[in-house]
Structure 1
Amino acid sequence: MSGFEKHRSGAVIATFAVFEADLIRSLCFQLVELLRDEQPDPAEHLDPLEALFNFSGPVDEPEDPVLLRLFPTAYTEDPEAAGEFRRYTEPALRTAKERNVVLVIDTLEDAGLPMEPEDASIVIDVELDEPSALGWLLAFNDLRLAIATRLGVTDDDEEFWESLPEDDDRSQAHDIYEWLGWLQETLVAAIEA
């Protein structure tokens, strides 16, 4: 995989080995599952006009640290204002984040990624228009935040990650985190080119 590049047509393109594409899809599925976890749609039984004006989102911080990182508290000194802000904004933010990761999944599958890849020689060619490229960029950002939160990645902790043995699961997860960061950087460069 050589990262994302701008094609002369204006599209952003990348080629993934099947295991890379499958890894990205798997991470996206996990994030979708987390975003949907225990989130009943309060508007599902409302008529469309009622649903448009339904502001019955959550007022409490998420218990899961990843969700809290993805949906941070806006007003740390004012719990009531923070709850109101969360109630009005979190449902739409969840929907947008889910839409981005589902876009990545759909793009990979539309490009030919099989549900259960068996042939390691398969490559997946992805071509993104500008809105899709921005969706992928946001999805990569959320995936990296999720991994960093689960691993406890902090600024200036590279020495710790480099000291872990290669067979340590945390080291492997950190490698994926770094790889997604590299993909994100190449995508930004391709969008800006």
Structure 2
Amino acid sequence: MRGVEPEHDHLAIHFDRDEAALLASIVDQLAELLRQQDMPVEQIGPVAEAADPFAQWEAEFSGSAGPTVEDPDLDALDQADPVIRRLFPDAYPDDPAASHDFRRFTQPQQRSRKVADAQLVVADLQQTSRKGICRIPLDHATAWLKTLTNVRLSLAARLDITDEVSAEEAAQRPKSDPRAWMHEIYQWTGWVQECLVEAL
């Protein structure tokens, strides 16, 4: 990416080759994961031989923990999937009943908002010119910043990044580590977000 420039009522992101398509793919996978949240855990399995290598990060998101008594679908995903836990943190970790009620009343709206923001970002990215310029209306900027945060939280969950120490450990993984490429995306999306903030 060559940077972000303000243009009247737009922000112009200057992507290098294939970067816009890559980001659109990652954001779309995040939205798909959120749309699938109401599915039972056993229906959200790995994607076999995904055409897009970056689809692997979504395929790895499902876990092995079983459903809880309160809500077989919702709580199972909360407990089994580290990405869902990171995107929807437990409001009352010491009170399972209160946590369940909080998720039941707040999570559907939160999920819908995250999906809508992600779809807006994908729509903007699909309008990227052949020269790699993606023009974002200023009123879309908040959706972009929130979506990039959600992408980075998702990647951080898969990379086991919880603080500065674990972030440094993730950065030092060898190229042979299957998650090394994921860390590169984590860093790159952080830079995109930083450039957007500076342009604003």
Same fold (TM over 0.5): yes
Query: Which residue pairs with 1:29 in the alignment?
Result: 28
Which residue number in structure 2 is paired with residue 16 of structure 1?
A: 15
Normalising by structure 2, we get a TM-score of 0.74
CA contact (8 A) 2:38 2:74 kept: no
How far 1:159 sits from its partner (Å)? Answer: 4.2
Structure 2 gaps of 5+ residues are 40-72
SS of equivalent residue, structure 1 residue 110: coil
What is aligned with 1:109? 126
The CA distance in 2 between the partners of 1:154 and 1:96, in whole Å, is 25
Greater Rg by CA: 1
- Aligned match of 1:3: 3
Instruction: Give SS of 1:6's match.
Output: strand
Greater relative contact order (CA < 8 Å, ≥ 6 in sequence): 1
Aligned sequence identity (%): 38
Coordinate RMSD, CA, aligned? 2.1
Give the TM-score taking structure 1 as reference length.
0.77
Please give the alpha-carbon distance, in whole angstroms, between the structure 2 residues aligned to 1:158 and 1:77. 27
List runs of 5+ in structure 1 lacking aligned partners.
Answer: 41-57, 113-121
Contact 1:107 / 1:126 at 8 angstroms: preserved in 2?
yes
2:106 corresponds to which letter in structure 1? Answer: T
Is the CA contact 1:108–1:124 (under 8 Å) kept in the aligned structure 2?
no
In structure 2, the residue matched to 1:60 is 75
In terms of mean alpha carbon deviation, does 15-24 or 155-164 score higher? 155-164
Given candidates 102, 106, 113, the residue that maps to 1:89 is 106
CA spacing shift, 1:162–1:140, aligned 2, 3 Å: closer
1:140-188 CA-to-partner distances (Å, cap 9, x unmatched) read 0000000110111232235433433334332221011011011111111
Aligned residues: 165
Aligned-residue offset at 1:64: 1.1
